Copies of this chain bind each other. A is one copy, B any other.
Amino acid sequence: MKTFMKAAMIAACAAVMSPAMAQAQSVNAAEYFGDQKVVYHFNGNGGEGNKAYKGGLRNLQNHINAVGAEHLEAAVVMHGNGLGMLSEAMNDTDLQGAVASLKGQGVKFLVCANTLKGRNIDYENDLYDVWDTDIVPSGVAELSRLQQMGYTYVKP
């Protein structure tokens, strides 16, 4: 059996385990991937049942499971309709749980100030768990800033 495939099976198992268990068992996948930086870009609607948001965040959880939280610097950048992730998370407990869990693993959730201003969004009352240090002047400029700092880009 090829090394690739071994790593694949380990990581696949990891996906259905707790982050802690996954971390312990995904040694081979972690070696294969090494240290990574990544920014996930959200600017669309979540759709029915916030499916797009949950799917994108599940991708990020799988990403962490494969690479290992200690080997991954991850950020989520939201602008435009993408802020819907955190407004929907006020009431959708599954979505809220996904955000909270990822934050607990070190993922930064960054919010575009242009969108807050343009749409009169009060981040303290309208969005789930946003602090002033989570606000970036411009979501799109932040995407470029992070990429220039060595972050890879994923549009889920």
Instruction: Mark A residues whose CB is within 8 Å of B.
Output: 1-2, 4-5, 7-13, 15-16, 26, 29, 32-34, 36-38, 41, 43, 55, 59-60, 62-63, 65-67, 79-80, 113-114, 116-118, 132-133, 135-141, 143-145, 147-148, 152-156
Known contacts A26-B137, A66-B140, A147-B153; 5 additional CB pairs below 8 A are A1-B132, A33-B141, A43-B59, A63-B144, A67-B141
Contact A15 B114, CB 8 Å, known A2-B133, A147-B153, A152-B147? yes
- 15 A-B residue pairs with Cβ-Cβ distance under 8 Å, sorted by A, are A4-B133, A4-B135, A5-B135, A8-B135, A8-B136, A9-B113, A15-B117, A33-B137, A33-B145, A43-B59, A63-B138, A63-B140, A66-B114, A143-B152, A147-B152
Do the beta carbons of A138 and B4 come within 8 Å of each other? no
* Contacting residues, chain B, for A15 (C-beta < 8 A): 114, 117-118
- Say whether chain A's binding surface is mostly helix, strand, loop, or mixed: helix
Bound together, the chains give a CA A65 to CA B113 distance in angstroms of 12
Contact A137 B59, CB 8 Å, known A8-B113, A114-B15, A117-B16? no
Bound together, the chains give a CA A16 to CA B156 distance in angstroms of 30
